[in-house]
Chains A and B, each alone.
Chain A
Amino acid sequence: DGGITQSPKYLFRKEGQNVTLSCEQNLNHDAMYWYRQDPGQGLRLIYYSQIVNDFQKGDIAEGYSVSREKKESFPLTVTSAQKNPTAFYLCASSQGALAKNIQYFGAGTRLSVL
């Protein structure tokens, strides 16, 4: 089945620790995205990547880092600089980063701070 796989489903972070959220897609999509969802809020864009080896900051990139070494994979690292990391994180992909392209989402990762 084609789709987007996010892992783990639940993740806990200790103070001062970096953690990495995985996102893999087998849809052969060029563009991938990371969004953060807080209670009572819509999704906010953290980073996006239009093509392999390229990525751009979104609206709330501070305290996060990404890499895009393979077309299928777009991992997100939540660094210790992110002081309020508790949120639901959603990864998405689309055929290209064009205005008309539909974004498909993974099932999400819930990150909590211990």
Chain B
Amino acid sequence: AQTVTQSQPEMSVQEAETVTLSCTYDTSESNYYLFWYKQPPSRQMILVIRQEAYKQQNATENRFSVNFQKAAKSFSLKISDSQLGDTAMYFCAFMKTYSNSGYALNFGKGTSLLVTP
């Protein structure tokens, strides 16, 4: 089974501080893609970052970076210099294979992040 686990239902961080959101996954595939999506109060899903398992280098997008540990099947998201606008639900997702070779996202249950002044 291909599953995604986010063990932190809620987190909070002060503005300008750094926070790390955890994600573990389970798969038997050798190459795959992992994603972090953000869902602010508007409920629009927004891609934060993408990581290809074959690439050893951790993906980075401005203040967002990942710590990808393939052997441990861990994919954590680090947010540096947190801003009030980072307040949102964050979902870790794995691109899952379906029976006819199609792919779709398999999501964790999410971590609710609150950034406080």
Q: Which residues of A contact B (CB under 8 A)?
A: 31, 33, 35, 40-45, 48, 50, 56, 58, 88, 90, 92, 97-105, 107-108
Contact = CB atoms under 8 A, between A and B. Distances in A.
Interface of B: 4, 9, 31-33, 35, 42-47, 50, 52, 91, 93, 95, 97-100, 102-110
What are the 6 tightest A-B residue pairs by CB atom distance, in nearest-first order? Answer: A42-B107, A105-B45, A97-B102, A99-B95, A43-B107, A99-B103
A56 B110 contact: no
A93 B111 CA distance: 24
A88 B95 CA distance: 21
Contacts of A105: 44-46
Contacts of B99: 56
24 contacts: A33-B105, A35-B105, A40-B9, A40-B109, A43-B91, A44-B107, A45-B104, A45-B106, A48-B104, A56-B102, A58-B98, A88-B43, A90-B45, A97-B104, A99-B31, A99-B95, A99-B103, A100-B33, A100-B95, A105-B44, A105-B46, A107-B44, A108-B43, A108-B44
B45 A48 contact: no
